[in-house]
Structure 1
Amino acid sequence: MAGFLLRRSQMPPDRRLTILHLAAPGRAGGLESVVLDLTHGLGGLGHRTILGAVLDPGSEDHPVPARAEVLGVEVRRLVIPPRSYVLEYKRLRNLLAELRPDVVHTHGYRADLIGGFSARRAGVPWVSTVHGFTGGNKKNRLYEWLQVRAYRRAQAVVAVSRPLRDRLVNGGVPPAQVRILPNAWAPKALLSREEARRRLRLTGPAPVIGWVGRLTREKGADVFLEALAHIPDQPWTASIIGDGRERPALEAQAERLGIAERIRWHGLMPDAAGLYPAFDAWVLSSRTEGTPIALFEAMAARVPVVVTTVGGVPDVVSPFEALLVRSEDPAALAAGIATLLAGRDEAGARAEAAFRRLSAQHASEGWIAAHLELYRSLGPTVSTGT
C-alpha cells in the first residue's frame, strides 16, 4: 500500500503465522468492524488468527466474537470482572503460553494497557492499532495518556490517519515505530432500498437523512440535531442508528428543538452496513475521528454524504466525492444537507465518484497484505519477566 514503508523482513516470507488479536469489544462500531475484517482476512491467507475477546460477566453471548466465529475465526472468550486487572493479566499470560503467538495485536485502551504489557513480559512482538482518541472527561483523558506512554514500548503502532500519527509522535512514540495504515473496506451485502426502509420502519415520501454511530460526544450527534433544526422548511425524516450514554440527552434536545416527531431512533441494528440504501443523504458530524468505517459504508452504498473535516476524513473524500464542512458548525452542516436534498443529480454524481474512490484506494486486499508484511518485519523481543 502506498506510503507504507517497512523494515527488512525478519520472519520467513512463507511461514504460517499465529496472530493473536486482543480487544474488549463494544457491541458494534468501527474498531469492531476492523478487527473482524482483519482477523477474517488474515485467516483467509492461511494464517492462524485468534480473537481474544475480553468480556464482562454475563456477556458471553456478545455479538462480536459470535460474528467472528461465523466468519471462521478462532475465538477465545476471556470473561473478566470489571477492574480485575491482575486476574486479566494472569489469564492473558496463560493464553500466550498456550498459543505461543508470533505477534500480539491489540485494539483499544484496555487491550493496549494490559494485553500490551502481557506481550512484553512474555517476549512476544506487540503491535497496536490506534483507532482514534475520544477525549472527554478526566478518566478518558487519563486512559489516553497512559495508552500513548504504553505505545512507546510497542514494536509497532498502526495509526489509521495522519493526524493520529502526528499526535503519537508528539506524545513521545518514536517515529520509526509508527506506521500510517488507513482502514480499508471489505464489501458487505446491501439490502434493497425497499427492504432497508422496511426494516427501519420508514414510510412516506419525505427524504431520509441517515446518521450512524455511537451516541457519545465525540460523534457529534448533538451537532447533527442542531443542524436539522436549521434546515429550511422542507420535508425530511432523520434516521439515527446507534446507541450510547448520551441518548436521553439527545432525545431531550430534539424535543427542545421541535424536531422530535421527525426523528427515528433505531438503537443498535445488526448488520447496519446493509441498511444504508434506505438513506437519501448521510451525515458524519464527528468532532474527532480516525478513518471512519461508517463513511466507507455510506460510500459503498452510493449514498450522498456531508462530512466534517476531522481526523483522516479529508484523506478519504475530497469535494469531488462529498460535501465537507467544519466540525461543530451546525449552520454549515445544515447548508450541506439542504444542498444534497435540493440537487439530487449532482449529489448522485458525487456519490458515484465516492464509490469509485473507495474501490480504488481502500480495498481490503492491500490492507491485509500490509499488515502481514508488518508482522513479518518484527523480530523477537526480549522477555521482561515471568
Structure 2
Amino acid sequence: MSTDQQTTVAVVAPRFPPDVGGLENYAHWVARSLQSEGYRVVVVSTHPGRGITEDEVDGLPVIRLGAPLTLSNTPINPWWYVQLRRIFREHHVDVVNTHAPVPFLADVATYAAGRRPVVATYHAGSMVKGVGGPIDGLLRGYERWVLPRVLRRATRLVGVSPIALTTRTGRDVTISPGVDTSVFHPPPDDAVRDPHVLYAGRIETASRWKGLQVLVASWPAVLEQRPDAVLEVVGDGDLVPEIKALADDLGVADSIRWHGSLSHGQLAEVMRRVSVIPNDSDSVRDGRHVTLTRRITSASSPWLRLPCQRM
C-alpha cells in the first residue's frame, strides 16, 4: 500500500494508446482524469510478444505485459497473475480499476488485487457473435460461469452504457464516455459539406461485426445514385487488405479514401466536412455511445443507423 497520503490507482486495460478503440480511449481518459485530480496512476496493459515493457503515454507510466498467445481477440499469458501481484506490490497500489470485455487480463487482475478494492468497468454487452462454432461456445461458458464470479468479487461495478453486462448484477453505475466539445464541435452554419460518407473505427478480423465490409459491398449502389460520393475510412487493422481487395473487385476503389489512424483533432475535422456518418456496427451489443456522441457534436450532417445485415 502507499506509504504517503497519495492514493495509487492501477488502471488495467487489455489495450491502451497508442492502440485505438473505445475501451482504449475510455481507460486513457480515466487514467488522465485521476492523475489530474492528484492520484498516482500506473497503467497496466499488454503487448504482443514476450517480456514486460515500460513506456509513457501523456505522462502516464504504462507497463505492458507480454502476451505470446492470442485466442480470437484475447491476449493470454499464464504468468500474469504472478506479474500483476508483483506490480501491485512494488508500485504500492491501493485501488485497481479493470476494463473489459476481452477476457482474462481483467479477470486475473481482479484476483491478483487481493484485498485491494477493485472497480470493474465493463464496456459492452455479450461478446457472443451468434455465428456458432467453438469461440461462441467458449464465450457463452465464460459469460455464464466465469464473469459472474469475477463481478461478484469486484468492490464496485461501472457500465459504460445500459447494455453493459454489469447491468444484470443490479449493482453497477452507468458512466457513459464523455466528449471534448472543444475538439468535437459542429462546423459553421454556412459550411458546405462534401458528398462524403465516413467510417471511423477498428478494421480488424476480430471486429468484423463493425460492418465496414458491408458498407463497401453496398458502395456500388450508392455510386449509382450519387456518382460523386466518396467513402472516407478512418482506422486500421489486419482486415484492411481484404476490404481493399473487395473494393477493387467491385470497381469502387477510386471512390474510397483510406486515412489510417488519425488523432482526435484530425478525426473531428473529417467529421465536420462529411455529409453522412452511418453507425458502423451491425451488433446491438456494441456499447459505443461515445462514437454517437462525437458524431452528434461534430457534424450537422445526418447520422444514420443503417440495417447493415440487410443493406
Normalising by the smaller structure, the TM-score range is: 0.7 to 0.9
Q: Is the 8 A contact 1:284 1:295 kept in 2?
A: yes
| Equivalence for 1:164 | 164
Could you tell me which runs of 5 or more consecutive residues in structure 2 were left unpaired when the two chains were aligned: 71-75, 188-192
| Equivalence for 1:248 | 241
| Equivalence for 1:214 | 202
1:123-161 deviations in Å (ceiling 9; x for gaps): 112222111244346336624742533323322222222
Q: Is the 8 A contact 1:23 1:111 kept in 2?
A: yes
Change (3 A) 1:24 1:266: same
Distance of 2:294 and 2:53 partners within structure 1: 26
1:42-70 deviations in Å (ceiling 9; x for gaps): 211112222112222389899xx64x3x2
What TM-score does the superposition give when structure 2 sets the normalisation length? 0.75
**Structure with greater helix percent:** 1
Change (3 A) 1:103 1:273: farther
Distance of 2:299 and 2:229 partners within structure 1: 19
Distance of 1:143 and 1:95 partners within structure 2: 29
Q: 2:41 pairs with 45, 49, 64, which one?
A: 49
Distance of 2:7 and 2:300 partners within structure 1: 39
Change (3 A) 1:113 1:19: same
Q: Is the 8 A contact 2:217 2:250 kept in 1?
A: yes
Correspondence 1:139 to 2:126? no
Distance of 1:45 and 1:303 partners within structure 2: 34
Structure 2 matches for 1:357-368, cutoff 5 A? Answer: none
| Equivalence for 1:9 | none
Distance of 1:45 and 1:29 partners within structure 2: 24
Q: Is the 8 A contact 1:281 1:303 kept in 2?
A: no
The DSSP-based 3-state class of the residue aligned with 1:127 is strand
Letter in 2 for 1:114: V
Q: Is the 8 A contact 1:113 1:146 kept in 2?
A: no
| TM-fit CA distance, 1:33 | 0.7
Structure 2 matches for 1:101-180, cutoff 5 A? Answer: 101-108=93-100, 109-119=103-113, 122-132=114-124, 133-136=126-129, 138-139=134-135, 142-143=138-139, 145-146=141-142, 148-149=147-148, 150-165=150-165, 169=168, 174-176=169-171, 178-180=172-174
Distance of 2:87 and 2:136 partners within structure 1: 28
Distance of 2:141 and 2:173 partners within structure 1: 20
| TM-fit CA distance, 1:21 | 0.5
Distance of 1:113 and 1:183 partners within structure 2: 22
**Structure with greater strand percent:** 2
Q: 1:74 pairs with 33, 39, 61, which one?
A: 61
Alignment length (residue pairs): 276
Structure 2 matches for 1:275-294, cutoff 5 A? Answer: 275-276=269-270, 277-288=272-283, 289-294=286-291
Q: Percent identity?
A: 21
Correspondence 1:20 to 2:16? no
Q: Is the 8 A contact 1:16 1:48 kept in 2?
A: yes
Change (3 A) 1:80 1:251: closer
Greater RCO (Cα-Cα under 8 Å, separation 6 or more): 1
What TM-score does the superposition give when structure 1 sets the normalisation length? 0.62
Q: Is the 8 A contact 1:182 1:291 kept in 2?
A: no
Distance of 1:264 and 1:58 partners within structure 2: 36
Q: Is the 8 A contact 2:8 2:40 kept in 1?
A: yes
